[in-house]
Amino acid sequence: MKIIKPGYEILTPISDGGLKELQLIERIGRVCYKSEERITEDGESARKFVKMLIDRGHEAMIEHSLLTVRFTCDRGVSHELVRHRTASYAQESTRYCDYSKGKFGSEITVIAPFYLTEGSEEEAAWRESCEAAEKAYFASLKSGLSPQQARAVLPTCLKTEIVMSANYREWRHVFALRTAPAAHPQMREIMLPLLAELKTRLPIIFDDIAVSE
């Protein structure tokens, strides 16, 4: 059994400072006002225009831009991610992935709950339950069950990879919900650093989203 930490990878190319992305939104948004003559090549007009849209709640314009992120997380977190309906997903399938095969290291991979202290009784109990699940899974496969049947014994903390594509408006909604103090701690574990990176790489689009501890 392999134990790993969660993570993410932004798959969508982002220009320096997110300037090209802001300029695209400006070009689209100015159609509403027929104010294309106010566009400046240095991007300053784009920064001001997109900020104005967001400040006024005119977020329909940022729906024209898409962001794709690949998450490595546990199945519980992924089940919450797919609740966001205006997004597209591709996820590692336990129906078709046979973790007894060599390309998976002939073992299951699980996500370590960061809130369990290594060496504690709670962590030991978690580890023991995962090892028991792995043993039952491989026994089920050996007995002739298919991966989609054997997966019934796999734990919620099983590692999965899920790719999520959504427009900027939906991502803003995701961050508002999934970085809040009431969000699951393992969801916040991946969403907080992702939001922090996007605040830097796509300023104006995301930098007004406040995060509470």
pLDDT at 212: 77
Residue 58 neighbours by CB under 8 Å, 6+ apart: 29, 52
pLDDT tens per residue, range 139-194: 999 999 999 999 999 999 999 999 999 999 999 999 999 999 999 999 999 999 99
pLDDT at 146: 98
User: Buried (b) or exposed (e) across 77-111, using 16+ Cβ within 10 A?
Assistant: bbeebeebeebeeeeeebeeebbbeeeeeeebbbb
Rounded distance between C-alpha atoms, residue 91 and residue 198, angstroms: 23
Structure tokens at 148: 């989609």
In this prediction the pTM is: 0.95
pLDDT at 78: 98
